[in-house]
């Protein structure tokens, strides 16, 4: 299993960067080798891609999605791919977008030593083109701000052994917390050293509400 991580700072608010990333069918406009992405449902997409002359078609499932924070996915079937993109507030008009991927190469061509470098350079280029794409537009082409809770949000234990300690989360609070945050250990299906392990052990604020639904009013004083 090979791991790739790349980041880019984009000069748009975090909400704009996140909203545009949820428009998966626009990926061919800035992702090299992505021929098409079709939205099959809220959490499933169909991809056609080409890397170094190798054509692939596969479906992917969104495994976790929290507005302005993160989108995680995994491929269904082979070849195995999984990834997460996180959004970090640097300033009101600047966002750091970090893309992390785990990729399991197949065949002689994909296991050759330069294959990982090809993929790494392509991911870097994709992020740079995303930066150009969203900055030139100035606003998102659409948005899907629904929540897709991860297994840790649902309180499930379906993730295999091991855990990861989380002390930092993306979002409007900044690239890190201003105050120390007690570490939390959560189960996950990646090795403890993997960057793809999900954060947190409980649901995010508002995770149980539908998009656009207002939080319940605080109870008033008894008479």
CA distance 72 to 82: 8
pLDDT the model gives residue 51: 73
pTM over 0.85: no
Q: Which residues of the chain, if any, have pLDDT below 50? A: 108, 156-195, 198-211, 222-223
Per-residue pLDDT at 215: 52
Report the DSSP beta bridge partners of residue 211. none
Q: Is the peptide bond before 153 cis (omega within 30 degrees of 0)?
A: no
What local confidence, expressed as pLDDT, does residue 107 receive? 54
Longest dimension (CA), the chain: 76
Question: Torsion over CA of 162, 195, 19 and 152, rounded to 10 degrees?
Answer: 10
The C-alpha R_g of the chain, in whole angstroms, comes to 18
Q: How far apart are the first and last CA of the chain?
A: 63
In sequence order, what are the beta bridge partners of 164? 186
Domains in the chain, please, with CATH? 2-20+61-137 (3.30.530.20)
Q: What pLDDT shows up at residue 81? A: 84
């Amino acid at each position: 299993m090979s791991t790739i991580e790349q980041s880019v700072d984009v000069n748009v608010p975090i909400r704009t960067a996140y909203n545009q990333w949820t428009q998966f069918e626009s990926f061919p406009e800035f992702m090299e080798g992505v021929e098409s992405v079709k939205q099959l449902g809220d959490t499933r997409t169909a991809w056609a891609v080409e890397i170094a002359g190798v054509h692939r078609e596969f479906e992917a499932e969104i495994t976790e999605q929290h507005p302005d924070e993160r989108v995680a996915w995994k491929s269904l079937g082979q070849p195995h791919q999984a990834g997460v993109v996180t959004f970090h507030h640097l300033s009101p008009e600047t966002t750091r977008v970090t893309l992390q991927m785990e990729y399991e190469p197949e065949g002689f061509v994909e296991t050759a030593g330069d294959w990982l470098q090809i993929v790494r350079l392509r991911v870097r280029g994709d992020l740079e083109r995303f930066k150009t794409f969203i900055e030139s537009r100035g606003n998102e082409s659409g948005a899907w701000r629904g929540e897709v809770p991860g297994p840790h949000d649902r309180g499930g234990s379906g993730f295999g052994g091991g855990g990861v300690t989380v002390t930092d989360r993306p979002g409007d609070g900044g690239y890190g917390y201003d105050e120390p945050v007690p570490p939390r250990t959560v189960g996950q299906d990646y090795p403890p050293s993997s960057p793809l392990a999900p954060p947190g052990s409980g649901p995010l604020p508002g995770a149980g509400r539908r998009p656009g639904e207002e939080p319940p009013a605080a109870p008033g004083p008894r008479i």
